[in-house]
Structure 1
Amino acid sequence: MKVNWRHIPPANNSYAALYAACELAGYRLDPVSEPSGDITCYSLTSISERTYRDEIADADCITIVGGPHASACYSDVAAYADYVIVGEGEYTLPRLISALERGDEIPPGVATKSGYTPADHTVLLDAYPPFTTVFGYTEISRGCPFGCGYCQTPRLFGRCMRHRSIDEIAAATARFRDVRLVTPNAFAYGSDGIHPRFDRVERLLSRLKNRIYFGTFPGEVRPEFVTDRSLELVVQYCANTRLHFGAQSGSDRILRQIRRGHTVDDVLSAVDCCREHALAPTVDFILGLPGEDEEDEIATVDLIQSVTRSGQAHVHYFMPLPGTPLAAAEPHPLLPETQKILGRLALAGKITGSWMEHEIRFFRQSSHV
């Protein structure tokens, strides 16, 4: 059976992980620029879905669709795709391909026009390599205990953190000079995601013999995890001179409302701590969050300007994502003065991102460092 993978650049890391999982099961996912073969697989976000929906509906082969959008909107996607993988795919995708090849019953974790049976498993990261011959970043942790209202991560992967073992991480990264690690919160490695275990973080970093980039894209951190101890580990073991973490808002009221789990003071403390350890902070912000008023927006812009005196801000306009508590919420329109300030900061090279077009965020995120 000929199984292909539709090449979509921002889904490259998903391709690497699923290629490895399918390879273990005896299947090869060949990259293609259009649907072909017996089966073509897709991984879609809520932005890319707009581009590939008609292509999938018109495909002359079996189509299997996964990814964050498909997982959150599986009934909608099943209206034009043959099979929809809901949630994690390492176990379900090879199992589905095998069922199609043998003519067996469709496994749990797959939606069709006829309905959906929830998955009967949770992926153990050590059971699958992060990549094999198709290279990707090394995922070290999955899941997040925080319930940020805008975020799909805990809805896709659960609120219990799972970690890849140090032995498996070391084996996966051994062939590379530079190592970048995928995780919802790099400083949460080895912990429950709420109470840091910096002893385990140090055990991981001391084991790797590469140029390590830790706490920066694609494995940022949370501001309350930025401490003297965590930054001492970065300075001692890592190559990055920046630390990337999320603030999202400069208003404590909005942070509480979106269930972010930290305060503005935590952000300010993290920025100061970075300065003290000669690390430049790169801080994420979301503008236009539902429920914002002018005072909240001004507070966020003030915090952005404060951050950019010693670092950089990464700014985006709120996009409601399916499957999240804020999926039905409308973005708050930005003040004209906010747009002027952001424009000046962008021209000065102080901020990156997009506060106007979500497509810019989607197609550039894979190159952000």
Structure 2
Amino acid sequence: MAKKIRFFFRRTNLNRYTITYLTALLDEYLPDFFELKIVDGFGELYKELSLNSEFISVVGYSLGVWEFKKHLEEISQLKRSFKDKVIIISGGPQASGLPEEILDRGADLVFIGEAEESLLSFLKDFYHSLELPSERIIKPQPLQDFNSYPPFAYKRGIFSPIELRRGCENKCFFCQTPYLFPQIRERDLDYVKKYANLLKEQGKKDLFFLLPDGLSYKQKNKGVNITYLEKFLKELSEEGFNLCWGYFPSEVFPTRVVNTPQVAKVLKKYVQNKKISLGCQTGSPRILELINRDHTLEDVRKAVKVLREEGFQVIVDIILGFPQEELSDRWQTLNFIKDLAQNYQAKFNLHYFIRLPQTPFFKLKPTPIEEEIKDEIYSLMKKGIAFGNFFKQLKTAFGNNKNEA
């Protein structure tokens, strides 16, 4: 055909894993269709689009909560400047939950949910017809074997954690994962070995994994499949890889540790990370029930103790500002933090509640934080007990109005 398609992915620090994955997808299945380029800045993207070319330009945005407003402004500016000369498509968590808003700001198409096959299908059709579909909100198409999609763009030397598991059974009311990905998908050990060896060819031996709950992999009846997990870690370790498991970008659920405490010894034997992330979210029993967390505070305490006894530094995730949360709940949480810090040297990653589309809590307002609570959090951070983006997230939720926050 006379014209080819230039495809640009707009990459940022927060969507880089997704962009790497999608780049790998297009490299694998549509290698000759595009001049594909990843751009890291809006200025660079604008300059590329301004160049005279016989190519048709398509820009892909993966939209998450933290950069949503910024990226909407970019989309609007691109559409005002280039109009129909540039096709703008978007996907990701925010796009899946708020497609109409994105279309209103100038995007041509929005891809909902799992978009591997729907994206490939659209691009194939567009390559041949140069016409957009009449339906602007593109629904998911059935995926092939989950093992058939490469985890990173190894042909370009661009790597990211390997997504081992997609979806989560723990339907916490504030979390988007189980609602965005209602079907659980997992990848196999042979898949991991294949791509791990490609990493090794590039001189890399560190393996990181993406899965919402690090101990849910190949689970049995919601319990830890410790036999498979040990086999998985052992075989990769024996091949010379350094494994990071149960820490960013993953965590572990308290009851899995409590019900299968020997898993801590397995992790200690095979993984390189000395820190384990533990989901907790609150120190208030009332709020635990309200947000649909299927564990107790005692479960958290026991899990921290088990992991600490094996030498792990436990990083506990905490969210403040849930809808219907009261001052007494926040003090319970802060006192719980102090207790675990004193007895088990736990550290705490603090967050402020942010509403996410598709979740039961999306239409509920976060609770403002009192000055006395803010002062206590400042003190915990100063002592090194707590860290995180709590105050940045608080500002995102309420803007610059200190009276509201």
Common topology (TM > 0.5): yes
Q: Does 1:256 find its partner at 2:284?
A: no
Q: Does 1:298 find its partner at 2:295?
A: no
Q: Does 1:182 find its partner at 2:210?
A: yes
Q: Which residue of 2 aligns with 1:366?
A: none
Q: How does 1:189-204 map to 2 (within 5 A)?
A: 189-191=217-219, 194-204=222-232
Deviations 1:123-173 (A, max 9, x none): 632010101322111111111112111111011111x42210001112222
Q: Which residue of 2 aligns with 1:313?
A: 348
Q: Does 1:325 find its partner at 2:360?
A: yes
Q: Which residue of 1 aligns with 2:9?
A: 5
Q: How does 1:57-96 map to 2 (within 5 A)?
A: 57-59=76-78, 60=82, 61-79=86-104, 80-96=106-122
Which of these two proteins has the greater Rg computed from alpha carbons?
2
Q: Does 1:55 find its partner at 2:74?
A: yes
2:174 alignment partner AA: Y
| Maintained 8 Å contact 1:307/1:313 | no
Q: Which residue of 1 aligns with 2:186?
A: 163
1:325 alignment partner AA: P
TM-aligned CA deviation for residue 99 of structure 1: 1.7
| Runs of at least 5 residues in structure 2 that lack an aligned partner in the other structure | 50-55, 398-405
The residue matched to 2:25 in structure 1 has which SS?
Answer: helix
| Maintained 8 Å contact 1:287/1:316 | yes
TM-aligned CA deviation for residue 26 of structure 1: 2.0
Provide TM-score, normalisation by structure 2: 0.83
Structure 1 Cα separation of the partners of residues 126 and 218 of structure 2: 38
Identity across aligned pairs (percent)? Answer: 28
2:140 alignment partner AA: A
| Maintained 8 Å contact 1:316/1:361 | no
Structure 2 Cα separation of the partners of residues 91 and 117 of structure 1: 11
| Maintained 8 Å contact 1:39/1:62 | yes
Q: 1:173 aligns with which of 179, 183, 196?
A: 196
User: Do the aligned partners of residues 106 and 267 (structure 1) sit closer, same or farther apart at CA in structure 2, a change above 3 Å counting?
Assistant: farther
TM-aligned CA deviation for residue 94 of structure 1: 2.1
TM-aligned CA deviation for residue 46 of structure 1: 2.2
Task: Name the count of aligned residue pairs.
Answer: 356
Q: How does 1:237-256 map to 2 (within 5 A)?
A: 237-256=270-289
Structure 2 Cα separation of the partners of residues 57 and 192 of structure 1: 47
Structure 1 Cα separation of the partners of residues 370 and 300 of structure 2: 23
Q: Which residue of 1 aligns with 2:302?
A: 269
| Runs of at least 5 residues in structure 1 that lack an aligned partner in the other structure | 363-369
| Maintained 8 Å contact 1:90/1:123 | no
2:76 alignment partner AA: A
| Maintained 8 Å contact 1:21/1:91 | no
1:318 alignment partner AA: F
Deviations 1:69-120 (A, max 9, x none): 001111211222011111122222222211211228867xx962xxx46323
User: Do the aligned partners of residues 111 and 318 (structure 1) sit closer, same or farther apart at CA in structure 2, a change above 3 Å counting?
Assistant: farther
The residue matched to 2:317 in structure 1 has which SS?
Answer: strand
User: Do the aligned partners of residues 289 and 145 (structure 1) sit closer, same or farther apart at CA in structure 2, a change above 3 Å counting?
Assistant: same
- Higher RCO, Cα 8 Å, sep 6+: 1
Q: Give runs of ≥4 in structure 1 deviating > 3 Å.
A: 104-107, 359-362
TM-aligned CA deviation for residue 203 of structure 1: 1.5
Provide TM-score, normalisation by structure 1: 0.91
TM-aligned CA deviation for residue 193 of structure 1: 7.6
Q: 1:30 aligns with which of 33, 37, 42?
A: 37
TM-aligned CA deviation for residue 307 of structure 1: 2.8
User: Do the aligned partners of residues 14 and 361 (structure 1) sit closer, same or farther apart at CA in structure 2, a change above 3 Å counting?
Assistant: farther
2:74 alignment partner AA: E
Q: Does 1:218 find its partner at 2:249?
A: yes
Deviations 1:225-276 (A, max 9, x none): 1242211111111111111011001112111111111111111111111121
TM-aligned CA deviation for residue 360 of structure 1: 8.8
| Maintained 8 Å contact 1:74/1:111 | no
Pairwise CA RMSD of aligned residues? Answer: 2.2
